[in-house]
Amino acid sequence: MDGDDNSRAAAGPQPDDDDRAAPAPAGSWDPQVCQALIERLWQLRAQMLASEQAFAGPLARVSDTHRASARNLTHYLALRAEDRRPLQDELAWLGLSSLGRAESHVLANLDKVLGILHRLTGQAWSERSSEEPAGIHGSRRLLAAHAAALLGTPPPGRAVRIMVTLPSEAASDDALVRRLVDAGMDIARINCAHDDAEAWAAMAGRVRQAASAAGRPVRILMDLAGPKLRTGPIASAPPVLKLQPERDVFGRVTRDACLGLRPFGSTTPVAGATAHIEVNAGWLARLEAGERLDLIDARGARRSLRVARRGEGGVLAECKQTVYLVPETRLRSHRERDGKRTTRIGGLPSKLGQLVLRVGDHLRLIRPGSLGLVMQEASNDAAMMPVIACTLPEVFAQVRAGERIFFDDGRIGGIIREVGAEALTVEITQAGRDGSRLAGDKGINLPDSRLGLPALTARDVDDLSTVARHADLVGLSFVQQGSDVDTLRGELDRLGAAHIGVVLKIETRRAFENLPELLLSAMASPAAGVMIARGDLAVECGYERLAEVQEEILWAAEAAHLPVIWATQVLETLARTGQPSRAEITGAAMGERAECVMLGKGPHILDAMRVLDDILRRMEAHQAKKRSLLRALGAWSHRP
């Protein structure tokens, strides 16, 4: 601390440089300011110890490996129970720690400040490290040990692990899994909300094989589906293929539409085709180049195709006009072939059913199996509102009119206007300017509703038998209270799988509000951690609060020395399209604050892994949790 800072400290906190009275002589300290701070810090210390006593019950159930960390968490809760900003300002004026980076070693940090103040004022001070759960170095060792116990040892040169969500193809594609492992996947995530136990076991087996071949460990996380509230299925739209030539700005055809004709059941592509249909194999075998094929399309328009050439997979046909093909369409040749001039067609693409919702629309959300009632009402109401089912009928008795509801990760929002035994009426208040499409199997969030849903469904309990055989850690989805964690641990004990690590997926507002209780319950396990599921959390808590909420989760987890998995939409655009957005690169850099970053699925996932690895390795030299590291800045090292 230089002389100017010493002068400021001598006079105590000052309102402003321009209004400040003349500083005291350098090296002197105002004993009254220091003594007042000492008394306030002793009071804060007493509050921390009282908080530890208040949590005596939960602390007694914590495992031995987490006991010191759990005590530190209770001290942190006491520190953050009141607004400490005035105290921080006064400490900073004296050049002391402002307690702003004390998450991992709260009592030790406080005692350091108290000790310095006692020495400055000539008062006796005795070392109190025996009373402190962890110091600055010990806390780092605890976090590293807990992270390794849950997530495995980090790879050389990168402290943050990379987790990748496996696609369904990983159950049968050895090469895909090998590429993921070779690209640096440290943890494979299997989402038990999709596929089945046989597929999960196959995925896990392929991960183990690929990891063994690569000579490095890869852990497996199995995410339980949990009581996920989702939209029910909507009938698929009729299959139809629109075949359209390319035109210039004047509407002139610049390239004919190219259609591949292949036998029924074939998936072999026809070279040059932009779309494919299936036809009778005998009829197809006798087509000749230059032959004309007539049809009447879905609009009743007469159209013709010209056979361009025969290829390995079938026949390429061209057309200069727009054609709509449906299952009822028949292709007709001009020469008889074994008594057949026509063929039916198949292999047409069908789109999943969707509803288009606009602001001001009303939507009926019904119980599964209530469609008969809806159809009966429809016979009396030609202008009936759109209808979709939901997967959890229990919510109908737990929601109230006036509460908000969101669909599809918050893309569509509304207000519940009416609540009935069989249906809810929702007024749409948030949608795209031209409307938003809602399909089946999309998430539903009810942030204002107090839902009493078990974190473990009957399906989850069944799935745990597979988890116990194949997983290293299990994700508890939609956890809300400590008893949910206790239930999971009880089921793992029953299956002889108490060693499996527990990951709390924080994805609801209630989970965030109950975070201290959840952390202490999880710390009864030998290995535990937190996943910040930012997608659902943003909808539940509000997008404007997400940055604040995720920071608070990071702080609490650091105070508990528990590893964090940074999840949801990390480099999503890059994985999906091959081109990242600037915003998601910045978001990925935030992953350095965690012990693991989770990537989703996509055709460019290997590119996303390489970019994430590079970002994490670079940021590791600049940031440790929320502490900035003063690495030399080579770009500015030149001298004038």
b/e map 54-93, b = 16+ CB within 10 Å: ebeebbeebeebbebbbbbbbbbbbbeeeebeebeebbbb
- Average pLDDT on 225-232 reads 90
106-152 pLDDT, tens digit each: 999 999 999 999 998 999 999 898 999 999 999 999 999 999 999 99
Residue 296 CB contacts under 8 Å (≥ 6 apart), including other chains = 302, 303, 329, 330
Amino acid 372: pLDDT? 44
Amino acid 236: pLDDT? 75
Question: Are 540 and 447 in contact, with CB atoms under 8 Å apart?
Answer: yes
Amino acid 379: pLDDT? 40
167 has pLDDT over 90: yes
326-359 pLDDT, tens digit each: 999 999 997 765 556 899 999 998 777 889 999 9
CA distance 161 to 636: 31
C-alpha gyration radius of the chain: 32
CATH number for the domain whose boundaries are 143-227+454-620:
3.20.20.60
CA distance 175 to 210: 9
State percent of the chain over pLDDT 90. 73
Amino acid 568: pLDDT? 82
Pairing of strands 275-279, 257-263: parallel
Confidence of residue 20 (pLDDT cuts 50, 70, 90): very low
Collapsing DSSP to helix, strand or coil, 484 comes out as helix
30-69 pLDDT, tens digit each: 888 899 999 999 999 999 999 999 999 999 999 999 999 9
In 371-422 the beta strands, taken as DSSP E runs, fall at 387-389, 404-407, 412-419
Angle (CA) 153 580 578, round 5°: 90
Which run of H or E residues covers position 36?
helix 31-54
Question: Of the given ranges (64-73, 391-400, 521-530, 581-590), which has the lowest mean pLDDT?
Answer: 581-590
Q: What is the largest CA-CA distance in the chain?
A: 113
- Counting beta carbons within 10 angstroms of the beta carbon of residue 594, is it exposed (0 to 12), middle (13 to 18) or buried (19 or more)? buried
Residue with tokens 């997967």: 391
Between 164 and 235, the more confident residue is: 164
Amino acid 1: pLDDT? 39
4 has pLDDT over 70: no
Amino acid 336: pLDDT? 62
Residue 499 CB contacts under 8 Å (≥ 6 apart), including other chains = 526, 527
Residue 49 CB contacts under 8 Å (≥ 6 apart), including other chains = none
Collapsing DSSP to helix, strand or coil, 250 comes out as coil
381 has pLDDT over 60: no
10 has pLDDT over 90: no
Range 354-445 classified under CATH 2.40.33.10: yes
Q: Residue 514 is encoded by which pair of tokens?
A: 């109950």
385-434 pLDDT, tens digit each: 889 999 888 899 999 999 999 999 899 999 999 999 889 999 999 999 99
What does the mean pLDDT of the chain come to? 89
How far, CA to CA in Å, does 147 sit from each of 140, 224, 465?
11, 21, 25
- 324 closest CA partner among 282, 291, 275, 283: 275
